């Protein structure tokens, strides 16, 4: 993995910053390995504007290549980027099918509209693997993916807020006017995280203290900034907040700073924060005491399982259609250094690319 990351880092440095920020990276078909058997696989990403999406794409490519080498395949690989456009993703997947892919991994822009693409792939006898997203539960017949590999996003939010409430209890503080910064409401992972957040506050008996759900649009830090600022004006005594992804942290942090509430733990005015994804910025926020609990996105574990599952499907081995969910690593402001030293966190590999 580390060798791949070095190559990636060198490559990224050669890509103009505007390309990385816009998420326009898209690759043609590459032959990655040689072997006695031939196989073609493709990845359709929903977008590439977040650094964690680069981790998901890079780790999957690395693990697919590893499986191909171990099993003796000549592997042809293609990746596409939908840039958040459901129509483009449908066309991308159609192109992957027409290119002769035996299996396609898909991080769906939308969990419902992707069902048509699943059906099209199956009609062409192409294996369809949901990756870092799951298909809508309304799927029937040939709309049902062959396999789904995802992070346990409900547990991510639950785990983060459990850490926050434990830290608050340790400090002898009760939550007041809890604010909930939601992710994209059309994203299954955002929906699951909201459920996990609600589960934690209910378990600790604080459900009646959640005063506002804050929209972030389509995971947009600028929208999170505007709406968090308004919420802090409406609820100036708020001392607890959940942020659905560290991708939104820059906007939330600015709103807290402007309200004189970006204060480290142990100081008057500290707002106890729970987050999700453990971006490099999330690690630093926990390390410096601004954030109290966070749960990693298990990008490597998800990619490893998805790659193995895809080859097992191709080789006719038994693979469950049930969603396979990977749990992320938990950090809090007490154990952050110890966990970082031991755990394989994607943010450590990508710490210079956020």
Residue 188: per-residue pLDDT: 82
- Are β-strands 240-243 and 210-214 bridged in parallel, bridged antiparallel, or unpaired? unpaired
Report which of 163, 159, 191, 161 is spatially closest to residue 178, judged by C-alpha positions: 161
| Ordered domains of the chain (ranges, CATH) | 2-145 (3.40.50.2300), 153-297+332-342 (3.40.50.2300)
Model pLDDT for residues 116-175, shown as the tens digit of each residue? 999 999 999 999 999 999 999 999 999 999 999 999 999 999 999 999 999 999 999 999
In angstroms, the CA 148 to CA 181 distance is 27
> What does pTM read for this prediction?
0.82
Q: What residue has token string 């503080």?
A: 173
Residue 354: per-residue pLDDT: 58
DSSP E strand boundaries for 88-141: 103-106, 127-131
pLDDT, mean over the chain: 91
**pLDDT of 314 strictly over 50:** yes
Model pLDDT for residues 204-220, shown as the tens digit of each residue? 999 999 999 999 998 99
Residue-wise burial string across 216-247, b where 16 or more C-beta atoms lie within 10 A, e elsewhere: bbebbbebbbbbbbebbeeeeebbbbbbbbbb
**pLDDT of 16 strictly over 80:** no
Give the CA distances from residue 228 to residues 170, 234, 277, 300, in Å, rounded to whole numbers and listed in that order: 27, 10, 19, 32
Residue 32: per-residue pLDDT: 82
In angstroms, the CA 207 to CA 83 distance is 36
In angstroms, the CA 43 to CA 41 distance is 7
149 contacts 280 by C-beta, under 8 angstroms:
no
Report which of 147, 189, 188 is spatially closest to residue 307, judged by C-alpha positions: 147
């Amino acid at each position: 993995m580390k060798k791949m990351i070095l190559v990636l880092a060198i490559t990224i440095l050669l890509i103009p910053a505007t390309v990385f920020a816009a998420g326009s990276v898209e690759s043609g078909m590459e032959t990655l390995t040689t072997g006695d058997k031939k196989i073609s696989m493709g990845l359709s990403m929903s977008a590439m504007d977040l650094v964690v999406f680069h981790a998901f794409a890079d780790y999957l490519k690395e693990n697919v290549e590893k499986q191909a080498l171990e099993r003796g395949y000549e592997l042809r690989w293609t990746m596409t980027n939908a840039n958040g456009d459901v129509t483009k993703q449908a066309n991308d997947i159609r192109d992957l099918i027409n290119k002769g892919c035996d299996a396609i991994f898909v991080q769906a822009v939308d969990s419902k509209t992707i069902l048509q693409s699943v059906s099209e792939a199956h009609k062409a006898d192409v294996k369809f693997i949901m990756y870092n997203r799951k298909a809508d539960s309304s799927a029937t017949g040939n709309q049902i993916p062959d396999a789904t590999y995802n992070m346990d996003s409900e547990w991510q939010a639950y785990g983060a807020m459990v850490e926050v409430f434990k830290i608050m209890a340790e400090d002898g503080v009760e939550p007041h006017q809890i604010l909930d910064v939601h992710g994209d409401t059309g994203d299954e992972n955002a929906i699951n995280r909201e459920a996990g957040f609600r589960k934690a506050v209910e378990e600790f008996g604080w459900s009646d203290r959640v005063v506002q759900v804050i929209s972030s649009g389509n995971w947009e830090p600028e929208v999170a900034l505007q709406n968090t600022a308004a919420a802090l004006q409406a609820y100036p005594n708020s001392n607890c907040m959940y942020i659905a992804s560290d991708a939104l942290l820059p906007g939330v942090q600015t709103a807290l700073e402007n309200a004189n509430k970006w204060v480290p733990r142990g100081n008057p005015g500290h707002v106890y924060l729970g987050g999700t994804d453990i971006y490099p910025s999330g690690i630093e926020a926990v390390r410096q005491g601004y954030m109290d609990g966070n749960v990693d996105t298990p990008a490597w574990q998800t990619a490893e399982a998805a790659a193995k599952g895809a080859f097992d499907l191709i080789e006719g081995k038994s693979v469950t259609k049930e969603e396979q969910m990977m749990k992320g690593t938990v950090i809090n402001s007490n154990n952050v250094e110890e966990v970082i030293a031991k755990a394989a966190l994607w943010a450590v590999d990508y710490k210079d690319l956020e």
